[in-house]
Amino acid sequence: MNTGHRTGYDAELQRHDQVLRRACDIRPHDHVLDIGCGTGHTTRQAARTAREGGALGVDVSAPAIERARELALGEGLRNVTFEHADAQAHRFPQERFDLAISRFGTMFFDDPVAAFANIERALRPAGRLVMMVWQSGERNEWDVAVRRSLAGPGGPAAVSTGPDPFSLADPPAVRRILDTAGYTGITFTDVHEPVCYGPDVTAALEWVRGFTCTGETLKRLNPAAAAGALERLREELSAHLSDDGVWFDSRAWLILPVAGAQRGLRRLR
Ligand SMILES: C[S@@+](CC[C@H](N)C(=O)[O-])C[C@H]1O[C@@H](n2cnc3c(N)ncnc32)[C@H](O)[C@@H]1O
């Protein structure tokens, strides 16, 4: 397995990236909207393919957008822009984009119906949304393993109070959200690819320590208990080390709805 990027989110998701890229099937003239683009890996990738069109990445994190701009500038990409914006409420140009994409950036909306309806209005009639989201925590070995290590034998479960990365894990619930938001032709594909946490145990431990759930749990523990949790985490990561890095099994959904179910109605209003 070629590890490509060595650590960080792009390294973690390198296998998912290939699946997402194939599903996006971006054409040279496409205008692409990247939702929750982070530091813009998928936005830049889209812009390179949509060479006669372009890509806009939006994210609520100002530092992520700043970094995304730096990276795009460093690559000399002229057809990519980034906006610091909440995709749920941002006034996108209407019916502007052929395609909206998202690599794990759509699970954190306060009001998912409002957010997906807002994105739908930005899509051309029959424009596609291609998004990848996590299946449930229990189906993701990485989540089970990290939480089990942090909790330890008989310890309280490691819970996180932050945004829920598994909020779009249930297909019937997601179908209802997207249907209400105006999409049609909604399909779910099971993506069964591993995540990479780093080339070695030290790098992987550093990466996993950055997870919200890890940080919050360690903060709640006294120093001795926190040291024990970190040691268990290190052992768990060591057990998943292979010749090409620390890998965990994972399950995601690739969800592809199409915009426009209510377009005709909207124009008549
Ligand atoms: C798990 S990260 C994924 C980042 C990026 N898609 C990638 O693959 O590198 C989720 C991103 O969604 C962003 N996000 C969360 N809620 C958002 C919202 N309402 N509007 C725009 N971005 C949002 C976060 O700031 C974060 O950068």
The answer to whether the CB of 88 is under 6 A from ligand 1 is yes
State residue 2's pLDDT score. 40
State pLDDT tens for residues 54-113. Answer: 999 999 999 999 999 999 999 999 999 999 999 999 999 999 999 999 999 999 999 999
State pLDDT tens for residues 139-148. Answer: 999 999 999 9
Q: Is residue 3 over pLDDT 50?
A: no
Q: In percent, how much of the chain has pLDDT > 70?
A: 94
State pLDDT tens for residues 215-267. Answer: 988 998 899 999 999 999 999 999 999 999 999 999 999 999 999 856 655 55
State pLDDT tens for residues 24-48. Answer: 999 999 999 999 999 999 999 999 9
The answer as to CATH 3.40.640.10 being correct for domain 9-137+163-197+248-260 is no
**Mutation to probe ligand 1, out of 65, 108, 213 (largest number of atoms < 8 A from CB):** 108
Question: Cα(225) to centroid of ligand 1, in Å?
Answer: 32
The answer to whether the CB of 105 is under 6 A from ligand 1 is yes
Q: Is residue 162 over pLDDT 80?
A: no
At residue 181 the predicted structure's pLDDT band, cuts being 50, 70 and 90, is: very high
SS (H, E, C) the chain: CCCCCCCCHHHHCHHHHHHHHHHHCCCCCCEEEEECCCCCHHHHHHHHHCCCCEEEEEECCHHHHHHHHHHHHHCCCCCEEEEECCCCCCCCCCCCEEEEEEECCCCCCCCHHHHHHHHHHHEEEEEEEEEEEECCHHHCHHHHHHHHHHHCCCCCCCCCCCCCCCCCCCHHHHHHHHHHCCEEEEEEEEECCCEEEECCHHHHHHHHHCCHHHHHHHHHCCHHHHHHHHHHHHHHHHHCEECCEEEECCCEEEEEEEECCCHHHHHHC
